[in-house]
């Protein structure tokens, strides 16, 4: 056995809302296959704590509290305490003398810090974003979350960020030594997304991801008013789950306002195994994010040979190279987003060429490369070489 890892993540299949949950699943199963002892603690929607062995991984699922505060900070604290009082880390690890505590992001970072101390294990955090800079909230809430993020990243032996942009933000805002923040991108199984270089029969645009304000889905809905004016048969598929009922109602009101009921369709959440066929049946993948530290959907689209129209922001610019793997547009600008989408819809051969170039560039993000990089960092921390 190479070592033990106790992974703490709010998302893990089947309860997955965004890319981090899928990433942690493939990371955990890949590590287990390579000889690591992996235990995952996560939430689920069942009534009681459950224990299971899945793909060589021990998974402990704690029920989501039935009553949660509406306030974000209160919810964060409540769920952290709920996990901590439901599971004793010293009772779930087989080899307490040598191991790592792995935190997926900030949300259960308070628990991860305390468990690392309880076990006397080094802490590694996989960061997906800096919440204190990417969500709308009162100034006091942002200040509190920034302090929580600082405590998490400063307590860790190493932080793994998916992009140079996020690495720099963590170092700048959380006062972290740059030498302990490593850039390792998110990954996918590229072989699952066979590129298909024929344009689909219909002008279909697809959005995949969480339906939430920072993802800019409302910007895309507004842009569709201009798109259908120039391409009347264009359809938009929104694939994902809404972050809350209020935002979903906002999207529905915009669809009604712009008379787009016959042009925009909610698909809800889908299984990861369904994604390749969804990409193949679309002409363009739209990523209108207001904030994005990486862009897993972008690399999935690129692997499937589909052009991406994305916001020119943060981590997306590192993945989607303008006019090479896709088209970058100003953030929060429905008109520019619509113009880029229409241009590709009316020039399907250009869209195909961009898709071909994207498929050639995406190999950097395959698990065959990312897993060994991650393991190397883990081994160095375990052996006190970092």
Window from 153-157, 213-217, 282-286, 361-365 with minimum mean pLDDT: 361-365
**pLDDT for position 122:** 96
**pLDDT for position 384:** 85
- The per-residue pLDDT for range 10-51, each reduced to its tens digit, is 989 888 777 788 899 999 999 999 999 999 999 988 889 999
Predicted confidence (pLDDT) at residue 381 exceeds the cutoff of 90: yes
Which secondary-structure segment (H or E) carries 43?
strand 37-44
For the chain, how long is the longest CA-to-CA vector? 65
Which CATH number characterizes residue 274's domain?
Answer: 3.40.50.2000
The most confident of 138-147, 159-168, 352-361, by mean pLDDT: 159-168
Q: Give this prediction's pTM.
A: 0.89
Predicted confidence (pLDDT) at residue 322 exceeds the cutoff of 70: no
With DSSP H G I counted as helix, E B as strand and the rest as coil, what are the percentages for the chain, rounded to 5?
Answer: 45, 20, 35
**pLDDT for position 131:** 74
Query: Average pLDDT in the 166-184 region?
Result: 94
**pLDDT for position 295:** 86
* Residue 203 and residue 131 share a domain: no
* Residue 105 and residue 9 share a domain: yes
| Number of folded domains that form the chain | 2
* Residue 207 and residue 164 share a domain: no
Peptide bond preceding 14: is omega within 30 degrees of 0, i.e. cis?
yes
Q: Which of 113, 208, 210 has the alpha carbon at shortest distance from 155?
A: 113
User: DSSP for 141-205?
Assistant: HHHHHHHHHHHHHHH-SEEEESSHHHHHHHHHHHT--GGGEEE----B-GGGS----S--SS-EE
CA 294: distance to chain centroid?
8
- The per-residue pLDDT for range 106-132, each reduced to its tens digit, is 888 999 999 999 999 999 999 988 876
* Residue 154 and residue 96 share a domain: yes
Query: Average pLDDT in the 240-246 region?
Result: 86
Residues of the domain holding 112: 4-187+367-382
- The per-residue pLDDT for range 251-260, each reduced to its tens digit, is 999 999 999 9
* Residue 205 and residue 71 share a domain: no
* Residue 168 and residue 38 share a domain: yes
**pLDDT for position 45:** 86
């Amino acid at each position: 056995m190479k070592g033990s890892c106790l992974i703490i993540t709010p998302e893990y299949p089947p309860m997955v809302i965004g890319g981090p949950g899928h990433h942690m699943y493939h990371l955990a199963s890949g590590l287990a296959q390579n000889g690591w002892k992996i235990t995952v603690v996560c939430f689920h929607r069942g009534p009681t704590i459950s224990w299971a062995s899945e793909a060589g991984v021990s998974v402990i699922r704690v029920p989501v509290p039935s009553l949660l505060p509406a306030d974000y900070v209160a919810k964060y604290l409540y769920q952290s305490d709920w996990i901590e009082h439901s599971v004793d880390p010293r009772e779930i690890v087989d080899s307490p003398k040598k191991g790592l505590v792995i935190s997926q992001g900030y949300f259960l970072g308070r628990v991860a810090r305390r468990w690392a101390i309880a076990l006397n294990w080094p802490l590694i955090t996989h960061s997906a974003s800096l919440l204190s800079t990417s969500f709308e909230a009162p100034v006091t809430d942002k200040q509190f979350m920034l302090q929580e993020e600082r405590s998490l990243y400063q307590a860790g032996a190493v932080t793994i960020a998916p992009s140079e942009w996020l690495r720099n933000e963590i170092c700048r805002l959380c006062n972290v030594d740059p030498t302990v923040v490593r850039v390792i991108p998110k990954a996918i199984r590229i072989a699952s997304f066979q590129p298909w270089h024929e344009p689909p029969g219909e002008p279909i645009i697809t959005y995949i991801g969480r339906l939430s304000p920072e993802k800019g889905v409302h910007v895309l809905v507004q842009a569709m008013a201009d798109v259908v004016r120039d391409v009347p048969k264009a359809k938009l598929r929104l694939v994902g789950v809404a972050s809350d009922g209020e935002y979903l109602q906002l999207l529905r009101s915009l669809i009604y306002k712009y008379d787009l009921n016959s042009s925009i369709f909610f698909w809800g959440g889908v299984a990861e195994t369904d994604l390749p066929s969804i990409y193949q049946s679309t002409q363009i993948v739209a990523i209108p994010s207001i904030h994005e530290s990486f862009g897993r959907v972008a690399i999935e689209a690129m692997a499937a040979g589909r052009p991406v129209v994305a916001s020119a922001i943060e981590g997306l610019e590192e993945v989607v190279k303008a006019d090479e793997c896709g088209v970058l547009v100003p953030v929060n600008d429905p008109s520019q987003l619509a113009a880029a989408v229409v241009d590709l819809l009316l020039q399907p051969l250009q869209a195909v060429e961009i898709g071909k170039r994207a498929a050639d560039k995406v190999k950097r993000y395959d698990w065959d490369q990312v897993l060994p990089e991650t393991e190397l960092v883990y081994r160095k921390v375990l052996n006190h070489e970092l």
